[in-house]
Structure 1
């Protein structure tokens, strides 16, 4: 990890190569040591690594709750296997204890003592780039690489489109685009197009002259004029009406803005950055985005990876939030482990909101540290419809001769479970965590409603 100028770059063995020709290094990401978040790469030399108290691989951040020979991790080219070596405090894989001398596949997180590790098919990016904290923002290798691409586009004066799930930090990337561009000294104007009522979108974007409509008692500057000499960031630009898209395209191509009620256009000099969590080409095909506007703003494009693909940032984000909100509180390993086990569909935004809620719960309970018990059970899990209310007691009594029948499962609920199973490779325990339910509950649903496990996978 690089923070305030320091960088950790341990060495490791090399395996196969990625798409860019760089050799992959399988290993572990150590994300938590006793009471402290970190981001350290532990390569698996020879495809295997034994960890315990005093292991050189752990460096200075030793863990007194680990046994001297705690566990062995092995990578077989496809999967990571964890074997507890008879440790005193046990080894936990994906939230469950591992019997001694019994290999268990690890997919999400490994806990030994007060340390957390995440299996990773390639720790080379973390070895080479570390995790940096700049201006209060945590940036892992994936974001660093993306921001370098963003900076190149900005310096060349290109427009930029940012694609990413909700909460991944699209506006932060847009600000980096502005700061690295030729108009960084000018204004940065961020516009949430999804929040603009269609009836006034044209007036807000392009401005209006006095008397242009009833109630226009003075000239009103639009967003494009406000961004003159700087950068205009159009978040969810695809939400604009097609007629407004046409006028926006003309303004971008001519660099002239004609306000409502104006006789002459005004020249503007702006750099355009747009963003969406939707696929632009699909929207063009469905007629919701003008093809000519797509070719004006849709390239180059960068995609922000979701938080679940950037685990090296998660513990540091949580620790930073605790230090900012309640520095007197400690950070317990259980909270970080629980967060690593959840998919966080709302990404960084959701993680920070739920972390603040957990901090508030800890403060209200008079706790000295923030733990998993302070985290909402639904935090970081997929949204689902509320369960139907329980029937009255008399309605729940079945006739003595009637057979017991399961309530039919809704089609969308079945689809949600099947998709989660597919994403988790058929692992029921991991799927249950992603859905925010206990694995026993999920197993009963699968059996009751005859939902098939993907071929080649077991229930566990």
Structure 2
């Protein structure tokens, strides 16, 4: 698999290579095209303007010579407009001159977009990689490498992550990097298997096993012989089928329905759920013995909200698939960077396709925010149109710890990142025995509850 790394460059302001995070910005969109240029803040602030080196390879004539000042105070990125000709926007809102405002998601100067990030070192090292049809930012690259390492060291992998975040892509990486890469890759979504037929679909059937079984039928497991079997939503299988699956994984033998002798198979096994497997065990939907067989090693598919640098590239790829030469307007990319995308990459691509089709049908040469559905990437509301926020799915303990670390124990900031209300986040923290104050800098640990 060939891969091209886009804008993989050395830090523009001198790099911090030690363990201390390097807060900074990433230029993700400039003058109509995606970018991936990291900029570490020098002395906790940086002045953005047309002559800054960050625009050397991505010139934007709508950026003023002295456009904006960005500061990081240890907790937040604060932005000040320096009297620019076309203004400065923080999270979609235009700033009055000489007034500092927080930017949590995106900063717009001219026709360019910069994403504030607490540690730009991964972007400095890895950039954004285009690998075939897949766009890979640093978080996704780390997850793919973890899947590849699991393939080199063992025969099983479990993947967790939200719906649409790319779990099958990680499973395919596990397959491609292992010794069985030349064999078949058999992907099965257990949640879509009709009740009562999972056993024969997975393990196959012998002729005469039941009324209508007029010939031997190969199951998914035999179809994966010599390769990799990927079972998505594995906990949706019934306990009886789980027991039979466990036996196959432990013995390497599959017994088709109605057969008297097992058949020997050789395969690698990858499973996935959109919830933590331990929650399935606690709920009684997953056998404990199967859990201990498949739960480790584990890789997390990072949600799209943790991969904002990928969004412009994903949008461009979908626009080009819809109509060659169709360009992106900064308003569309900014809107997409500001939305939660509960359906992750799957939802973004579907909505981008719809917006591109609307633009093309209207005869527009570029896709703008007006072509994007007003509900795209937003939380769901109940029937009747009453305003409400979709209850977010509960993150894993690892996700919670990650968010708290990035927010340095600030509950409000962590809640924003996770797309949840502070009250909901506190419930999750209590359920997992986590104290937000433990992740705050030493000087703030005794003050309040991390707000």
Secondary structure of 2:22's partner? coil
What is the CA–CA distance in structure 1 between the aligned matches of 2:277 and 2:13, rounded to whole Å? Answer: 40
Asked if structure 2 preserves the Cα contact closer than 8 Å seen for 1:14 and 1:23, the reply is no
Equivalent residue in structure 2 for 1:61, among 49, 58, 62: 58
Answer yes or no: is 1:235 the counterpart of 2:236.
no
Match of 2:284 among 284, 287, 291: 287
**CA offset digits 1:103-137 (Å, max 9, x no partner):** 11111111000000111111110001111111221
Q: CA deviation at 1:304?
A: 1.1
| Deviation per residue, 1:334-362 (Å, 9 max, x gap) | 00000000010100000000000001111
Gaps of 5+ in 1: 390-408, 436-453
User: Which of 326, 332, 337 lines up with 1:335 in the alignment?
Assistant: 332
How many Å separate the matches in 1 of 2:205 and 2:284? Answer: 29
1:350 aligned onto 2:352: no
In structure 2, distance between residues paired with 1:347 and 1:414: 17
Residue 151 (structure 2) aligns with: 154
How many angstroms apart in 2 are the aligned matches of 1:55 and 1:388? 47
**How far apart in 1 are the matches of 2:389 and 2:196?**
39
Cα separation, 1, equivalents of 2:251 and 2:420: 49
Q: Does the C-alpha gap of structure 1 residues 425 and 334 become closer, same or farther in structure 2, counting only changes over 3 Å?
A: farther
Contact 1:210–1:261 under 8 Å retained in 2: yes
Q: Describe the SS at the equivalent of 2:130.
A: strand
Calculate the aligned-residue CA RMSD, in Å.
2.5
The answer as to 2:362 corresponding to 1:365 is yes
Task: Output the TM-score relative to the length of structure 1.
Answer: 0.83
2:269 paired residue number: 272
Tell me what 1:386 maps to.
Answer: 383
1:75 and 2:76 are equivalent in the alignment: no
Match of 2:213 in 1: 216
CA deviation after TM superposition for structure 1 residue 414, in Å? 7.8
TM-score normalised by the chain length of structure 2: 0.85
Is 1:244 the counterpart of 2:245? The answer is: no
Residue 456 and residue 292 in structure 1: after superposition, are their counterparts in 2 closer, same or farther (change >3 A)?
A: closer
1:346-399 CA-to-partner distances (Å, cap 9, x unmatched) read 00000000000001111121111100000001100111212269xxxxxxxxxx
* Counterpart position of 1:3: 4
Structure-to-structure mapping, 1:14-413, within 5 angstroms: 22-387=19-384, 413=388
Taking the aligned partners of 1:240 and 1:366, their CA distance within structure 2 comes to 49
Displacement after TM superposition at 1:13 (Å): 5.5
The alpha-carbon deviation at position 456 of structure 1 amounts to: 9.0
Closer, same or farther in 2 for the Cα pair 1:292/1:455, shift >3 Å? closer
Note closer, same or farther for the CA distance 1:262–1:148 as it changes in structure 2 (3 Å cut).
Answer: same
Q: CA deviation at 1:152?
A: 1.2
SS at match of 1:199: coil
CA contact (8 A) 1:189 1:233 kept: yes
- CA distance in 1: counterparts of 2:156 and 2:103, whole angstroms: 42
Residue 434 to residue 54, structure 1, CA distance change in 2 (3 Å): farther
* Counterpart contact for 1:382–1:434, Cα < 8 Å: no
Which SS does the other structure have where 1:218 is aligned? Answer: coil
Maintained 8 Å contact 1:14/1:24: no
Larger Rg: 1
Q: Secondary structure at the match of 1:74?
A: strand
| 1:7/1:386 CA distance change after superposition, 3 Å | same
C-alpha separation in 2, matches of 1:238 and 1:384: 28
Equivalent residue of 1:190, what SS?
A: strand
Cα contact 2:30–2:60 (8 A) shared by 1: yes
Is contact 1:167–1:347 with CA below 8 Å preserved after alignment?
yes
- From the superposition, tell whether residues 425 and 32 of structure 1 become closer, same or farther in structure 2 (CA, over 3 Å): farther
1:46-67 deviation line (CA, Å, top 9, x unaligned):
1110011111232221210011
Number of equivalent positions? 406
Distance 2:6 2:57 in 1: 18
